[in-house]
Amino acid sequence: MSDPVIKIAHNLYRVPTMGSGINSFFITEADGSITLIDTGLKTAPKKLVAAIKYLKKDPSDIKRVLFTHSHDDHAGGAAKIIEIIGSPKVYAHEAEAQYLESGKNPPRDLTHLAGFFFRFTPEGKFNPIKVTDKLTDKQVLPIGGGLQVIHTPGHTPGHVSYLHQESKTLITGDSVFNFGFKIAWSLSAFCTNFNQSKETALKFLDLDFDTAAFTHGPHIQKGGKQKLKKFLT
């Protein structure tokens, strides 16, 4: 059985909540507090709690919950884990907050065939939550030695990626996936604007990072930027 958390840097951990297929992240602080990035599906809170206990921490140590975006595989577990934690601060991009607060996924891109046909499938839903802090592009949060917000819309209107400056780790969100054997674009069927998602991912080329961490797939510890650059260009 694999460990419930995978260490990326001394204060940054990847938390697989459905194998490496869906990942959340922990950032720990010297004061003992923890930041959680993404909450996974509705079934994920149990694994998040197990991961916290594996680090010899308590769920109440999670003081901040950040989101890359509001799809149900990233926000489905939000209401439950927030209930377990208590009253953490909740962060999302200003263009994404409305979806988290309504519990509904953003619209799909009907200009692509996959999105057009997937419009007939049920939309993912989750229990709504209150966003306490709205993020903006290039904002640097005082988390883990500096956590930069990179607005990468397209997958959803307020989709963001995060650059953990201290460890030079980029958390891509759903801008790109890592299937292990290859890096790939997110599925157009689940994007609001697939072409925009591809365009805004080019922002990664201007960032200073070495490790690439994905919300879908294993992280690339060394040479992550080079591999992403090869894919993007």
Q: Which tens digit of pLDDT belongs to each residue from 46-93?
A: 999 999 999 999 999 999 999 999 999 999 999 999 999 999 999 999
Q: How far apart are CA 34 and CA 55, in angstroms?
A: 11
Q: What percent of the chain has pLDDT over 70?
A: 94
The better pLDDT of the pair 207, 120 is held by 207
Please tell me whether residue 73 adopts helix, strand or coil conformation.
Answer: helix
Confidence class for position 122, pLDDT limits 50, 70, 90 = low
pTM for the model stands at: 0.94
Q: Which helix (H) or strand (E) holds 117?
A: helix 113-118
Give the pLDDT confidence score for residue 148 in this predicted structure. Answer: 98
* Backbone φ/ψ region at 54: left (φ over 0), alpha (ψ -120 to 50), beta: alpha
Confidence of residue 189 (pLDDT cuts 50, 70, 90): confident
**Structure confidence at residue 181 (pLDDT):** 84
User: Does 199 have pLDDT greater than 70?
Assistant: yes
Sequence-separated (6 or more) residues with CB below 8 Å from residue 206: none
Domain range 6-122+129-232, CATH class? alpha beta
Structure tokens at 231: 């894919």
The tens digit of pLDDT for each residue in 126-140 reads: 999 999 999 999 999
Please write the tens of the pLDDT for every residue from 134-163. Answer: 999 999 999 999 999 999 999 999 999 999
Q: Model confidence at 107, in pLDDT bands (50, 70, 90)?
A: confident
For the chain, the domains span: 6-122+129-232
